[in-house]
Amino acid sequence: MAKKNTGSTSAKILYRPVGLLSGVVSGALAGLVFKQIWKRVGPGEAEDAPKALESEFRLREVLLAAAVQGAIFALVKALVDRGGARAFQRATGEWPGD
């Protein structure tokens, strides 16, 4: 079994501003990535993904857009969070999570 690298309380507190900033960055980045992907693979000629309250789109299209957007957001957030935690560990010698 792998040894768990548990972070200290001070590391968790010091990491909070980094975590907040990475959350903002990952949300913005995920939005940009989703827009580019939807332009290329989305059905129809619309550049923007359908929103739940736009009646001109079928439910299937709205749900597809939401699922793709959610998956991209989760992937980008995980990548940015993990990268931020690794950079924090390299700088401080402590893992900020667990």
pLDDT, one tens digit per residue, over 27-37 is 999 999 999 98
Taken as a whole, the chain contains a residue count of 98
Mean pLDDT score of the chain: 85
Q: Supply the pLDDT for residue 3.
A: 47
Q: Supply the pLDDT for residue 27.
A: 92
pTM of the model: 0.77
Residue pair 52/59 in contact by the 8 Å Cβ criterion: no
Q: Supply the pLDDT for residue 8.
A: 75
Percent of the chain with pLDDT over 70: 89
Single out the residue of 40, 27, 41, 39 nearest to residue 70, CA to CA.
27
Residue pair 15/93 in contact by the 8 Å Cβ criterion: no
